A and B are shown apart, each in its own frame.
Chain A
Amino acid sequence: MQPTLDVVNLCVKRQHNEILKSISFTAAPGELIGLLGPSGSGKSTLMRSLLGVQAITSGSVQVLQSPPGSPSLRGLIGYMAQNSAIYLDLTVEENLRYFAGVLQHPYSEVTRVKEVVALTSFSNRLVSSLSSGERTRVSLGITLLGSPPVLILDEPTVGLDPILRRDLWRTFEDLAGTGTTVMVSSHVLDEAARCARLLLLRNGSILFDNSPAQLLAVAGATSYDSAFERVIEEAE
């Protein structure tokens, strides 16, 4: 099977700072990948490189066998940035309708997505009147429009209550179950342990790329927090 994501020796420099240092990995359809790392480790830059909105310095990136940013990929990658990237002066409904229209999806997609992110009762509320957790859900809803084959989600569960968080992780698992490649960044280790595969990023390099169980075994630890600390200490 052709990999959905194929990254080889990816380097990104920004104003002489090396943000990503020779990153390589591949991802297959249906994989749910947790991207972990402290802030400043390069998680967002890696995700933006996959989308083609970050210029890469060297190395190669292929998404669905095309270079990132190519017109054929537009609409095939659902991207949720850390900032909510929605129109604050529009209602939930107007936001979803606009993006669904640009993607040429029928109105039924708007209705479906509102249910997935539990926003049906908020349809006519202005986004500026919503809490940050609710805004995150609007942003996620837009990302899920049309069920794209690749989802790149940058900290999608920040500021959400535990019940909704659990529901969203179930949604991610379901999507992966139907063949979607889902990459989710997080700094909550216990939550990310729901992923079948973890990528640990630190200072622009991948320190670990395997299953959560393997992380515990390698580090000889009982909690994910201490396992992560152990892996970082060994790398130094």
Chain B
Amino acid sequence: MNLRRTLLTTRRILQQLRHDPRTIGLLLLVPSALVGLLAWSLTNNPGAFDSIGPKLLGVFPLIVMFLVTSVITLRERSVGTLERLFTLPLTKAEFVAGYAFAFGGVAVIQSFLVSILSYTWYGLAHQGVPWRVSVVALCAGLLGTAFGLALSALAHSEFQAVQFMPAFILPQLLLCGLVIPVGQLPTVLRIVADVMPMTAAMHAIAPLQSNWYYVGQFAIMIAYVLVALVVGATTLRRTTK
């Protein structure tokens, strides 16, 4: 894997975003605005935002980044630039890593913004340390990017890619502990929930656990990011049947 070609690809993707200020605005502001809306809606329930807010910090970036990444990579395929790149000395790993860096960077800014706003303006008082919540938000953004890349290889149209969102994300949303604590799920579902990336994000936010517990949860999320990137790189097809 050549780092120069990877970073050229990252720069090219960021240039594309720069020419599209509306997308930048949506990417950075939507998660922040959603968490703000939640804080506002819970004004009359003291303490409620402090328990739900951090969890959604781990959910919104995942959804936003998943959608954006899967649609934009699919667009490369439909306009033919992916096929052109495959006739050039760019490897699939360089292509995927280029995207991961570009959108990983966006996820960093996005998570930073949503965390800062939560702890200041929205008045979040969480029993955990703020940096841990910020890292969870970042991991969630990276998970969204990595899974978006992996699943866009399976989708044949932008229409299908958008439908992967409810198929892939909503089950996790139902089982990750947001609706009902994971411990109260039927056994089979609990086993499924325990291995899902979004559940790891919820666990990493939970207060009052040992340091090793948190390290373990972050390791699960990073492992999912890496596996999804490898899957994304291997399922890209250079040839059509």
Binding site for B on A (CB under 8 A): 14, 48, 51-55, 69, 71, 74-75, 77, 79, 81, 83-91, 94, 98-99, 101-104, 126, 142
Q: Which residues of chain A are near B9, meaning CB under 8 Å?
A: 98, 102
Known: A69-B239, A79-B87, A83-B79. 14 other contacts (CB 8 A): A14-B241, A53-B238, A55-B239, A69-B238, A83-B80, A86-B79, A89-B19, A90-B12, A90-B16, A90-B19, A94-B15, A102-B9, A102-B85, A102-B88
Binding site for A on B (CB under 8 A): 4-5, 8-9, 11-12, 15-16, 19-20, 79-81, 83-90, 238-241
CB-based nearest B residue for A103? B88
Report the number of A-B residue pairs with Cβ-Cβ less than 8 Å.
80
CB-based nearest A residue for B83? A53
- Contact, CB under 8 Å: A102 / B16: no
Q: Which residues of chain B are near A71, meaning CB under 8 Å?
A: 89
How far is the CB of B237 from the nearest CB of chain A, in Å? Answer: 9
How far is the CB of A154 from the nearest CB of chain B, in Å? Answer: 10
- Contact, CB under 8 Å: B240 / A102: no
- Contact, CB under 8 Å: A54 / B89: no
The 5 closest A-B pairs by CB, nearest first: A85-B80, A83-B80, A101-B8, A85-B84, A98-B12
Given the interface pairs A81-B83, A102-B85, A103-B89, the reply to whether A53 lies near B12 with Cβ below 8 Å is no
**How far, in whole Å, are A108 and B90 apart by their CA atoms in the complex?**
21
**How far, in whole Å, are A94 and B12 apart by their CA atoms in the complex?**
8
Q: Which residues of chain B are near A53, meaning CB under 8 Å?
A: 83, 86-87, 238-240
- Contact, CB under 8 Å: A102 / B86: no
16 inter-chain pairs at a CB distance below 8 angstroms, sorted by A residue, are A69-B238, A71-B89, A74-B89, A74-B90, A75-B89, A79-B87, A81-B80, A85-B79, A85-B81, A85-B84, A89-B19, A98-B11, A98-B12, A99-B88, A102-B8, A104-B89
